[in-house]
Amino acid sequence: MWLELRLQIDPRDSDLVADLLAQCCPRLAVEIDNGEEGQPRAFVKIYVPQEDLTALKRSLRLALRFVPLSCTPKWHRARRLREERWHKAWRRHFRPQLIGSVLVKPPWSKKKGQPGQVTLQIEPGMAFGTGTHPTTALCLHAVQKLIFPGARVLDVGTGTGILAIAAAKLGATYALALDIDAEAVKAALGNVEANGVADTVKVCHGTLTPNILQEGPFHLVIANLDRETIRRLGPLMTAALAPGGYLVVSGFLSETVAELTPLLATYGLRHHQDMMQDGWAAIVMVKDA
């Protein structure tokens, strides 16, 4: 059974709250209902499996405590949803989208890519990474800019596998996709198969550890994680890079860039580019040859 939770917030906070919820609890579908123009309240609707409710509410409350909101959010009672209504809500949430020249679409969409576009079919299952979140979109833009035929790619925190699959379809000859979440691994394996890139993308359950370095070096390392995990894995991600290779990190708000960039530089990387979308950021660093 799925539940619909409604969180009443100030409309000025709706984008920030929806982004934050989607980022910290990727298994949720989040919808914003801004109501009538000029109304002083908006609702963020969250769809969650009933069994996850207590733990999720606890982590959401905690996450919201750290954002400067205009008003304290108010939780409304959960509504039970029939399976069909949940599917309808989810399908409304995930529509095909063109990110650069990559069309990301769910399996139920009939939309076809235009000539010159690369199509990814992504079934999210219980994993993060449909392209609807700005951090995924930023990473997808970076992959399109930095990939070249024959590249070897490491995707740390692959979620649905979207970035590794994109890399494979854009010319990588090997992409190693890691995730600590068994549900994400399941979703990524299904998507790798559905996109016909099983020969190129290897999905593994686990994180980046020193023994993974044997699989490198990689020309591109992508990590859409969170600031703390990026900080922790920074030295290993740097070690995994080939000389001249690029590290793309995302999963944080733009104000974090000023703190993360010098930190990544201490691992021996040079700043290449910052990318921003809707308050979220990605940093591209390069390992000098």
Ligand X SMILES: C[S@@+](CC[C@H](N)C(=O)[O-])C[C@H]1O[C@@H](n2cnc3c(N)ncnc32)[C@H](O)[C@@H]1O
x-or-dash pattern for ligand X, window 36-75, by CB under 6 A? ----------------------------------------
First to last CA, the chain: 54
Interaction between residue 273 and ligand X (CB under 6 A): no
Interaction between residue 134 and ligand X (CB under 6 A): no
Task: Candidates 36-44, 50-58, 63-71, 158-166: pick the segment binding ligand X (CB under 6 A).
Answer: 158-166
Interaction between residue 178 and ligand X (CB under 6 A): yes
d(CA 207, CA 235): 14
C-alpha dihedral sign at 57, 62, 66, 69 = positive
Task: Candidates 34-42, 67-75, 127-135, 265-273: pick the segment binding ligand X (CB under 6 A).
Answer: 127-135
d(CA 196, CA 219): 22
Specify the residue, 33 or 228, whose C-beta has the smaller distance to ligand X: 228
Interaction between residue 162 and ligand X (CB under 6 A): yes
Size of the site for ligand X (CB under 6 A): 22
Interaction between residue 132 and ligand X (CB under 6 A): no
Among 121, 144, 229, 277, binds ligand X (CB under 6 A): 229
Structure tokens at 58: 């606890």
Interaction between residue 190 and ligand X (CB under 6 A): no
Task: Candidates 46-54, 94-102, 153-161, 213-221: pick the segment binding ligand X (CB under 6 A).
Answer: 153-161
Q: State the minimum distance, in angstroms, from the CB of residue 161 to ligand X.
A: 8
Q: Please return the burial class of 40, using the count of CB atoms within 10 Å of its CB with bins 0-12, 13-18 and 19+.
A: exposed
Interaction between residue 176 and ligand X (CB under 6 A): no
Among 27, 93, 181, 201, binds ligand X (CB under 6 A): 181
Question: Phi and psi dihedrals of 82, rounded to 5?
Answer: -75, 155
Specify the residue, 43 or 128, whose C-beta has the smaller distance to ligand X: 128
DSSP string of 41-76, one letter each residue? -EEEEEEEEGGGHHHHHHHHHHHHHTS--SS--EEE
What residue has token string 């649905």?
160
Type of residue found at 151: A
Structure tokens at 225: 């994680």
Interaction between residue 180 and ligand X (CB under 6 A): yes
Alpha-carbon distance values, 255 to 136, 236, 261, 263 (Å):
18, 24, 11, 14
Interaction between residue 258 and ligand X (CB under 6 A): no
Among 28, 46, 142, 156, binds ligand X (CB under 6 A): 156
**What would you report as the CA-atom Rg of the chain, rounded to the nearest whole angstrom?**
19
Q: Could you list the residues that contact ligand X (CB under 6 A)?
A: 26, 127-129, 136, 139, 156-159, 162-163, 178-181, 184, 207, 224-225, 229, 251
